Each structure stands twice: as structure tokens, then as C-alpha cells.
Structure 1
Amino acid sequence: MPAAQLDAKTKRFAYSAIVIYSAIVGLSFLFGKLALTVATPLDSLAHRFTVSLSAATIPFLFGWVKLQIKPRDVLAVLPLAVLYPSMFFAFQAFGLKFTSSAEAGIIHATVPIFTMIAAAYFLKERTTRLQQLSTLLSVAGVIFIFVMKGTSINLANMKGTLLILLSALALAGYSVLARKLTSRMKVMAMTYVMTAIGFLVFNLMAVGKHVAEGTLSLYFEPFASPVFLLSVLYLGVLSSLISSLLSNYALSKLEASKVSVFNHLATLVSIIGGFVFLNEQLAYYHIIGAAVIIAGVLGANAGTWGRRKAVLPPIVSDQAMNKNG
């Protein structure tokens, strides 16, 4: 059946998109570390989204891509943009002030669990027992790596833990809301509005902080550093703009619970990037954890081409009904 073949081809593109997304996000930790050696977290976020919005606007200015955004589209995307990038990055940036990046990694490993629960409740997504256990397995793989590195969550410092947990919940909420919104809005338009809102939020916060401290003249000083310039270009163009496009596209084709578990692949890419570029240690537990994560990701996406391929997800069913009705 041609429709089934087309659907299978679309899913392959969607999975390719989310794998590339994971690779980009995984390396973003490396460039994020480099950027923070020059600028504050808030300034880095502001400049990151300035570059991202500039890159997103160029194709429209030259007429390479047509963009039609109505006021109702902005209102529709606003709740999504509040969750990601605004709340996600804000909670993450301030949370890392009170906790370590390793602790944050453990907490963020739970995102697929939150996503799976939220998707089941709000989107009525159905997951098999294998997919549920595989999601937990991938989470266990990430936690195993961090625990073997001697990391644990310091419950005495609840402030940082709570902020990182809120960041994880915001990312899970974004996955569910984006999955729903992409059924009635073009991915390009949705991503552009998200980027523009991120630009406004973080620049207003950063400029406000500089004005309060009387250091506004230093706002663009980080761009004088080649290291920061390279880092912010990667973070702004690839890690913010392109990764959002890829993620939104994948969420328009695949269930949120399946897309979310791929975030754990970013952890593997981050480890490999640290080993290759920063000469960080690659131990046996990294390999074991990597195998567990990959097994979990594959298991969480089991059945995609099997008995459930004829069953349309609720969102696709709604689209079909809208076209016919």
C-alpha cells in the first residue's frame, strides 16, 4: 500500500532527525563549557538566542523560505516557548549554580519517564510493557555512568536539585505540547516563534541584570573572544535553531515518549566528545552504560514497524478527521 510505504519512509526521516538532534545536543555541553569560560550563564543564553534568531531570519529576508505567522500562531506557541526554551534553560542555568553538572545529568535522565507519563495522560499515547521497561533501562544506563563516576544527588542542597528537576519537567512538558501543536502548525513557523521568544526573554533578563549592575557597556565584550564566538555560533545555530527544527519535526511524526528517550544518546555523544576533545577519561563503566542506554532506546522504540504500524496515533487520526471534515 503506497500510504503505508510513505509512512514508513517518513518515520525513517523522523528517526534520522532525532539521532542528529541527539548528536548536536551531546556536543553542545562541550561548547557550553567553553562559552562559560568567557561569559556568564545568562549572557551566554542571551547571545546564543541572538545568534539563533539572526540565523533563522536570514532565509526569510532573502526570500529563500516563506514564513507566514499569524497572531493566533504566536499565542498558540507561547505556552510551548515558556516551557522551552525559557523555563528549561532558565531553571538549568540557575540550578547549575547550586548543584554540579553531574547531579544535573542524573536528574535530567528522568525526562523520558516524565514524558511517557504526561504523553499517556494528555495525548493518550499507548506504550507496551517492553517500551516502558526499556525507557527505565535507558534511564538506568545514564544513572549508572554518573554513579560509577562517584556522583550522587546531595539532598542537603535542595535548591539546586529542585531547579534542575523543574528544568526536566519543563522539557517533558515541551515534548508533549510540541507533539500536539505540530499537528496543526508548520514546524518552521513554530520553531521561529520559539526562537524569537527565547531571544526576547533572555536578552531582557541579561540586559536588565547589566543595567542593575552598571555593566551594560560590557554586554557584547565576550564576542571579542574567538573561543566564545565559535562556541556561541555552534550553540546558537546548531544547538538551538537546527536542533529545535529537528526535534519539532520528529515530534510531528513520532510519539513523544519515543522521541524523549533519544535524549539519552546525547549523554553518550557528550562522553565521546569529552574523550576526543578534552582528553577526559573513558572507563569500562562508560561502555557498559552506553550498551544499556542503546538497548533501552531500541527497546523503547520496539514495535514501530510491527503490529502497531497500522494504528495511527491520536494526533494523526485527528488530522485525518479534520481533512475529511
Structure 2
Amino acid sequence: MMGKNKALLAAMVFSVIIGLSFMFVKISLSYEGQLLILAQRFTFACLGLVIFLIIRPINLRLNRNEVMIVLLISLFYPIIFFSSQILGLDQTTVTEAGIIQAIAPAVTVLLASIFLKETVRKMQGTGIILSIAGVVYLQVMNGSGGYNFHLIGNLLIILSILATAVWQVMSRRATRTIKPIQITIYILLIGFIFFNAVYFISGGSFGEYTSVLAEMPYLGSILFLGVLSTFGTSLLTIYAVSKLPVIQVSVFNNVATLITILSGVLILNEPFYYYHVIGAIVIIMGVILVNSNKNTIRKAKMAQKEQS
């Protein structure tokens, strides 16, 4: 029971951090380009990781199969996820990204049912369709009435959601043989190497890399994104899915959605139209249906026990 409570707390904390991360990405984009932000984000994430390893040394030894699994996970998270997220936020608003983020539980449940054989009822299937319909409605309304059209940006946000769902499902399976902290360490190192290499190969300079850190709003955003949103949520998410069914963990994405929308409207003063409310209601109704069956978690746990 204690382990379950810790996992639930971890899921709640990472949802709050993820919800705020959209706002901090948007703030950082007002200072620098995507490549530098991603490179510095993972640099600070690795600095946090080094401090963690000094305090608590970890055995990092993996066999060849485990290394391949970690490399595959890294393709979706961090590479695809962070690339599509920051490119998407550069072309849409935090508010719309937050609303679209609400379909994440439905996508995760769908993938968990396919790859982990976690039970999905008919009502959950209806909820998945309803959530997707809400996103489609937002895109249709964005393209009419003279509103700003953010199709490309929103499609990239959807791609980041798919990458998140795949990462959670793969991590759930991987933690049967690999410790969550080991997965976290390796995916952060891979992200650090990949994004910094891309930045410098594409012509980035060390002078620009360091000079922008003198801007306090930017430095604060990068510290939050690197230490808390990258290192912190990676560890918390993998820990949560190692202790709980993916379906149960996905419910906490609703917290992230609410915080993202509120930060966009209240802090960044982004416009909030009537169709945002309608789209959010439709998506949330779908999410409620996805998680409405009281037997869902029990059945998912039974399936987990049968597999183990």
C-alpha cells in the first residue's frame, strides 16, 4: 500500500510539473530558438542527474538486450517527444496545446490495451472517439471565423502526445527487467548527447550557449525545464508506471491539462474563445468515459499479475 501511495503522489507531482512546463517553454521561446533550448534543457537535466548520482550512486550495468530497449525508448522520449513539443508550441498557443493534451489519457489507454493487454471496455472506446472528436472540432473552428489557424503546431503537439503514450507503455514493459532509475539515467544522457550535438553541428556557438543564461527569466525557465520538467518528470513517470497500471497513471494527465490551460490564460494572457470551452468539455467528457468504469483498474491489475 505504501508503494502504491508513493506512486500516486509521483503521478500527481509530475502532472503538475508537466502542466507548468508548457508555459516555461513558451517563455524560453521568446528569448532563443528551439535547438538551443533543447540543448540547454538537457544540459541542466544532466547536471541535476550528476548531483543525484553523487548523493545516491546507481549501478548502471545493462545487458545487450536491455541497452537496445533503452535506445528504442529514447527514440520516442526524449527525441521525438521534446522535438515535436517545442516545435508545436512555437506555432500554437499554450492554451490550445493544453486542451489537446487532454487526449493523452485516451491515447495511452488505447496503446496499453493493444500492447499491454490492459482491459478496455466499450464505454472507454466511446470515450477515446469522443476525445479525438473534440480535437477535430478545435481544428475545424480554428480554420473558420477569422481565428488564428494553428494546424501544424497542434499536429506536432498530438505527435508529442503519441510519443508520450508509447514511452509510458514501453517503460511499463521495460521496468519488469530494468530499474526505473536506470532507464531515466540513460534516456537523459542520450538526450543530452543528441540535442547538444545537433545544436553545435547546425552551427551553434559556445558564446551564444552561455551568454543567454544571463537573462534571468530565460535562466529560470531553463532550470525549471531541465531539472524539474526533464529529469524530475522522467524519474517520477517511470516510477509511477512501474508500480501502477498505465491506465491509472494516464488519469493524472487531466491535472496537467487544467494547469496548462490556466497558465496560458491567466499568466500569458492568451485568448480564450467560446469554442475552446466547447472543445475542452467534449475532450474531458471523453476522458471521463475512458476512466469511468470502476472495474477498469482492478481488471488492469489482474492482467498485470497474469503477465508477471
TM value normalised by structure 1: 0.77
Q: Which residue of 2 aligns with 1:65?
A: 56
Are 2:224 and 1:234 aligned?
yes
Deviates more, 1:265-274 or 1:279-288: 279-288
* Residue from 241, 249, 253 that aligns with 1:251: 241
Residue 127 of structure 1: which of 120, 123, 127 is its match? 120
Higher relative contact order (CA 8 A, sep 6+): 2
Give the deviation of 1:278 after TM superposition: 2.8
> What amino acid is the match of 1:277?
I
> Could you tell me which residue of structure 2 aligns to residue 169 of structure 1?
162
* Gap regions ≥5 residues in structure 1: 1-5, 320-325
Structure 2 counterpart SS, 1:222 = helix
User: Secondary structure at the residue paired with 1:30?
Assistant: helix
Q: CA 1:55 to 1:259, structure 2 compared with 1: closer, same or farther past 3 Å?
A: same
Letter in 2 for 1:88: F
CA displacement 1:64-120 (0-9 Å, x = unmatched): 3130111424433111111101111123334556x4347766765544444333222
Query: 1:265·1:294 contact (CA, 8 Å) conserved in 2?
Result: no
Question: What code does the residue aligned with 1:189 have?
Answer: Q
Aligned pair partner of 2:260 in 259, 267, 270: 270
* Residue identity opposite 1:82 in structure 2: L
State how far apart, in whole Å, the 1-side matches of 2:221 and 2:6 are.
Answer: 28
Shift of 1:216: 4.1
Deviations 1:156-212 (A, max 9, x none): x6xx6765554333222112111111222211121111111111111111111125x
C-alpha distance in 1, partners of 2:84/2:217?
Answer: 25
Change (3 A) 1:268 1:17: same
Counterparts of residues 310-321 of structure 1 (less than 5 Å): 312-319=301-308
Indicate how the Cα distance of structure 1 residues 203 and 308 shifts in structure 2: closer, same or farther if over 3 A, else same.
Answer: closer
Write the letter of the residue equivalent to 2:259: V
- 8 Å contact kept, 1:17–1:250: yes
Identity across matched positions, percent: 37
Q: Report how far residue 313 of structure 1 moved.
A: 4.4
Structure 1 residue matching 2:15: 3-state secondary structure: helix
**Paired residue type of 1:87:** I
Residues 9-18 or 142-151, more deviating:
142-151
Give the TM-score normalised by the residue count of structure 2: 0.81
Distance 1:245 1:252, change over 3 A: same
> How far off its partner does 1:240 sit?
0.8
> What residue in structure 1 maps to residue 212 of structure 2?
222
**Does residue 100 of the first structure (1) align with residue 92 of the second (2)?**
yes
C-alpha separation between the residues in 2 aligned to 1:141 and 1:300? 14
Number of aligned residues: 301
Q: Which amino acid aligns with 2:109?
A: M
CA offsets 1:23-64 (integer angstroms, 9 cap, x no match): 111111111111112111110011011101110111222xx3
- Residues 19 and 148 of structure 1, relative CA distance in 2, 3 Å threshold: farther
Structure 2 counterpart SS, 1:220? helix
CA contact (8 A) 1:109 1:142 kept: no
User: What is the SS of the residue equivalent to 1:42?
Assistant: helix
Q: Name which of structure 1's ranges 126-135 and 28-37 shifts more when overlaid on structure 2.
A: 126-135
| Residue of structure 1 equivalent to 2:47 | 54
Q: Deviations over 1:283-309 (max 9, x none)?
A: 7776676666665545433455x5863
Q: Between 82-91 and 138-147, report the one with greater CA deviation.
A: 138-147
Conserved 8 A contact 1:134-1:300: yes
How far apart are the structure 2 equivalents of 1:286 and 1:14? 32
The aligned amino acid for 1:58 is I
* 8 Å CA contact retained: 1:103, 1:152: no
